[in-house]
Structure 1
Amino acid sequence: MDAIALVQHFGKPDLFLTMTCNPAWPEIKEHLLSTDEAQNRPDLISRVFRAKIAELKTDISKRNIFGKVAAYMYTIEFQKRGLPHAHFFIILANEYKLITPEAYNSIISAELPDEVKEPDLYQRVLKHMMHGPCGDLDSTNSCMKKKGYCKFSYPKQFADQTLKGKDACSIYKRRNTGKMVKIREKPLDNSWVVPYNPFLLGKFNCHMNVEVCSDIKVVKYLYKYICKGHDKIAFAVNNNDVNVEIDEIKEYQSARWVSPPEATWRLFGFPISEMNPSVLQLQLHLKGQQFVSFKSNADINTILNNPMIKMTMLTEFFLYEYIE
């Protein structure tokens, strides 16, 4: 509800960004022993990713790489294999709203870059931003549903220009140039490129998916998506002794897997989510029926005569609105 409050005030989000930790970052590898591996240093992974998130926030909110930002929020999640990734929602100021296809194309690319003119970006797109292969090329990929199609709808359709799709998703410019690259021994073209921002991909060298939130229909789903919480599993513990009466209710357990990077992230006290500007919930109450906190040994007359107990965040909010 706090996130939706931002939408009510600033309008729908304009950009949805996902950033995933890269265990091959130089900041991680240079601090590993010759016999060590990145998965053995969750403390190092957490600290480096936290620093990368701080730099990304600076690029978005202070350097205004997408334009002036009115509000943003992000949450940190952890993949099944343990690596952290962040989901960002960005709401741009009115004068920087993305309205035209040209504005979309200035921020997002969904094509293979020129191998000669941009060799570094080309290699990073191949490494981080190519989906699959799945479907007819590999039916065993984890993205494949039981019905036999990719849950992310890859390969995408070709398009000579950026368009707004019928299902509230943008159709990015993906020209059928005939250019193919080999990923995991399979030939892929522009229809397999995950949308990215060239500047951010070149700077951070990791999976950096950037999408346009093109319609108000996607707002509720996307906010629910990034605020869904952790995965849980329900299981029962049974005793093999047939002579022991089993209490199924007491034996029922609910648990979740906490990976080492998530454990160290929480031990370090790093934030799991952040919202800017912050949203503060006001406690609702009738006149004179607010909660009052006091020490057990306090004098009751002193409490009742204290004018501060009549002032709550709700009453002061209405007073502020009246003065304004």
Structure 2
Amino acid sequence: MAKGETEGSAIGRRIVLPSNFIGGPRNMRQKYVDAMALVQKFGKPDIFLTMTCNPNWPEIKENLKPYEEGQNRADLIVRVFHAKLEQLKHELFKNNIFGEICAHTYVIEFQKRGLPHAHFLLILESNCKMHTPEDFDKIVSTEIPSESANPHLFRMVVQHMIHGPCGSLNPFNICMKKKGSCKNLYPKDFSSQTIQTDDAYPIYRRRNDGSEVKVRGAILNNKWVVPYNAYLLCKFNCHINIEICSSIKAVKYIYKYICKGSDKISFNISPITNPVLINEINEYQSGQWVSPPEGAWRIFKFPLGEMKPAVIHLPLHLENYQPLTFKHKSTLVNILSNSGQRKTMLTELFVENDIGVLAKKLKLTYNHFPDHFVWKGDKKMWSPRKIGDSIGRIVIAHPTEGERYYLRILLSRVRCPKSFADLKMINGVTVATFREAALLRGYLLDDATQQVCMQEASTFHMPLS
């Protein structure tokens, strides 16, 4: 505008893959940060569960035409897996087979051969949490059951829950690393009882009771059994691994694991003198491997993940620096004259705190506002929450961003702010900057803010290497 430009199409642009594209790098990183917000409120996850599609399910076999193979019916595979997934969710969240769940997240991934699998992280209510090895044994088993006492469970364990063989029995198995050891650390050691450790998972009970089975040409015992839940294994007839998260040490790894996205690789060579415009959409497409089941899953518009309670992203911007979206044919004069374009969650927070009776009564900080209010995107306004629950998360600001960083500090601590100017007002006196306001309020008197910044970064972010 300062240069006299009037057309929206002439504004400079970047070609990015936004976070609302499901499965993209920004989307997966956002899911990871949102999932860590669940940990901040509800604590570490209690159960890590993985369910993998079984191409030999009767529902798939019965609907194949003569001489037709399941790998050629991606539509059938994903429909059946989606139905099984809904059954699993009903068992977990409605029947509460492990107890009441206060928060959960899951994502859908696709293996190299295309079969879908789901990763669940479950956080139980405080009165349902598992604290002793005896509690772990009620949910997780790592032993071969008696064939005579429970023949169906025996068949399921032998068919789906025996790892390998690998190591000296099969040094060329896919799980073997270059040093000749299994990346999953099989075979495990025998253990007469379950032991709670400081690592991610406990040492499960694997008694040396003489049980042996022949799997893929090798005689294997309890050392090779993958942790399973007997009820879910018998019900779903597929590989369904369950682990107890006994320590908070591996929380970041587990959440990053389920939000890592699909495998991909791409490279581009360009001269330094003539750098190529970075196009994140083309980069994603050139490095993405989309199997037929994943394509069918997206065509059917099945969800690729879920998180409850929902995490609300609260925008952070300085006064009159909120982002605007517009069509390329729009004129800048009309864009700037549209008052609705200026409204954001932050600006309407100030309005609600100024005129809203409930907001004045509760005196909430910005990040706690979604606990009691719902953002109406179509009307661009906050309204009192009637049902449900959510978690507010103010978007990250780096300390080098200056005023935006100090604004975030103020919004995280000041209750019921009514405007940007109100945040700068101390004892009836308005200061010039947010940094000065934070300093006079006592938020910058020592190294506490730097410590909080580093702690927050250590909670959410991963190392570069």
Normalising by structure 2, what TM-score?
0.62
Counterparts of 1:185 and 1:271 in 2: how far apart (Å)? 39
Among 2, 11, 16, which residue is 2:43 paired with? 11
Shift of 1:248: 11
Q: Quickly say closer, same or farther: Cα 1:115–1:286, change in 2 above 3 A.
A: same
By relative contact order (CA 8 Å, sep 6+), the higher-ranking structure is: 1
Q: Quickly say closer, same or farther: Cα 1:267–1:310, change in 2 above 3 A.
A: closer
Summarize deviations over 1:187-219 as a string: whole Å, max 9, x none: 100110000000100000000000011111110
Counterpart in the other structure of 2:178: 146
Counterpart in the other structure of 2:318: 286
Match of 1:111, SS? coil
Matched, 1:24 2:56: yes
**Preserved CA contact (<8 Å) 1:145 1:151:** yes
Match of 1:281, SS? strand
Counterpart in the other structure of 1:322: 363
Counterparts of 1:25 and 1:44 in 2: how far apart (Å)? 11
**Preserved CA contact (<8 Å) 1:76 1:273:** yes
Counterparts of 1:158 and 1:205 in 2: how far apart (Å)? 26
Among 152, 164, 171, which residue is 2:196 paired with? 164
Counterparts of 1:37 and 1:303 in 2: how far apart (Å)? 58
Out of 212-221 and 314-323, give the one that drifted further.
Answer: 314-323
Shift of 1:185: 1.3
Counterpart in the other structure of 1:174: 206
Counterparts of 1:229 and 1:61 in 2: how far apart (Å)? 25
Match of 1:54, SS? helix
Q: Point out the structure with max Rg over C-alpha.
A: 2
Matched, 1:99 2:131: yes
Shift of 1:29: 1.0
Summarize deviations over 1:221-259 as a string: whole Å, max 9, x none: 01111111111123579xxxxxxxxx9979x97422211
Shift of 1:168: 3.2
Counterpart in the other structure of 1:187: 219
Matched, 1:87 2:128: no
- 1:163 aligned partner, one-letter code: I
Q: Quickly say closer, same or farther: Cα 1:293–1:83, change in 2 above 3 A.
A: closer
**Preserved CA contact (<8 Å) 1:283 1:314:** no
Out of 201-210 and 31-40, give the one that drifted further.
Answer: 31-40
Counterparts of 1:314 and 1:128 in 2: how far apart (Å)? 54
Structure 2 gaps of 5+ residues are 1-32, 354-358, 365-371, 373-465
- 2:217 aligned partner, one-letter code: E
Q: Percent sequence identity over matched residues?
A: 54
Counterparts of 2:338 and 2:346 in 1: how far apart (Å)? 18
Matched, 1:312 2:345: yes
Q: Quickly say closer, same or farther: Cα 1:322–1:115, change in 2 above 3 A.
A: same
Counterpart in the other structure of 2:305: 273
Counterparts of 1:312 and 1:217 in 2: how far apart (Å)? 35
Shift of 1:301: 10
Shift of 1:302: 7.5
**Preserved CA contact (<8 Å) 1:282 1:314:** no
In the alignment of these two chains, the number of paired residues is: 312
Counterparts of 2:347 and 2:148 in 1: how far apart (Å)? 61
Shift of 1:167: 3.0
Shift of 1:313: 5.2
- 1:256 aligned partner, one-letter code: Q
Shift of 1:288: 5.6
Matched, 1:58 2:99: no
Counterparts of 2:312 and 2:305 in 1: how far apart (Å)? 15
Counterpart in the other structure of 2:403: none
- 2:266 aligned partner, one-letter code: A
- 1:96 aligned partner, one-letter code: C
**Preserved CA contact (<8 Å) 2:197 2:203:** yes
Counterparts of 2:67 and 2:75 in 1: how far apart (Å)? 17
Q: Quickly say closer, same or farther: Cα 1:136–1:299, change in 2 above 3 A.
A: closer
Counterpart in the other structure of 1:131: 163
Counterparts of 1:185 and 1:218 in 2: how far apart (Å)? 35
CA RMSD of aligned residues (A): 2.8
- 1:216 aligned partner, one-letter code: I
Q: Quickly say closer, same or farther: Cα 1:290–1:77, change in 2 above 3 A.
A: same
Counterpart in the other structure of 2:264: 232
**Preserved CA contact (<8 Å) 1:78 1:262:** yes
Match of 1:82, SS? coil
Shift of 1:51: 1.0
Q: Quickly say closer, same or farther: Cα 1:93–1:166, change in 2 above 3 A.
A: closer
Summarize deviations over 1:46-100 as a string: whole Å, max 9, x none: 1111111111111111110000001111111111111111100000001111101
Out of 53-62 and 13-22, give the one that drifted further.
Answer: 53-62
Counterparts of 1:25 and 1:72 in 2: how far apart (Å)? 27
Counterpart in the other structure of 2:147: 115
Counterparts of 2:67 and 2:267 in 1: how far apart (Å)? 38
- 1:65 aligned partner, one-letter code: I
Normalising by structure 1, what TM-score?
0.88
Counterparts of 2:347 and 2:190 in 1: how far apart (Å)? 53
Q: Quickly say closer, same or farther: Cα 1:257–1:293, change in 2 above 3 A.
A: closer
Counterparts of 2:306 and 2:134 in 1: how far apart (Å)? 31
Counterparts of 1:277 and 1:69 in 2: how far apart (Å)? 11
- 1:74 aligned partner, one-letter code: Y
